[in-house]
Amino acid sequence: MRANKQSLVSEIANERISVLFDLAKKCAETDPELSRKYVRHLKRLGTHCRVKLPKEIKNGTCGKCDSVLVPGLSAKVRIASSKRYVVYECLNCKAERHVHY
């Protein structure tokens, strides 16, 4: 028996978000626009259901154009060692995401 309705909603939303992210990663190379559509949808789903996106998804997508950041394909990755973060630069819109380590 579930605790309440919200936990059921979050469980279903998390499952759908991970399925959508897998689909977005799969078609990132063949159909980038469809991939961005999947990412936009999963972000909207997370907002609507009040579910926090996992770090893997948050750091693996562009915050500006919703592209999936695949190193070598849609993202350029470099290390800013003096500032202790990794820079993911989206090759679609040139936005940068800093991931601290």
User: What x/- string results for residues 53 through 92 when contact with Zn ion is judged by CB under 5 A?
Assistant: ---------x-xx-x----------------------x-x
For Zn ion, the closer CB: 18 or 92: 92
**Residue 21 corresponds to which tokens in the numbers above?**
């992210």
The yes or no reply on residue 93 touching Zn ion (CB under 5 A) is yes
* CA 15/CA 32 separation, integer angstroms: 22
* CA 35/CA 57 separation, integer angstroms: 13
Nearest Cα residue to 22 out of 61, 48, 49: 61
For Zn ion, the closer CB: 13 or 65: 65
For Zn ion, the closer CB: 93 or 99: 93
* CA 67/CA 101 separation, integer angstroms: 23
Binding site for Zn ion (CB under 5 A): 62, 64-65, 67, 90, 92-93, 95
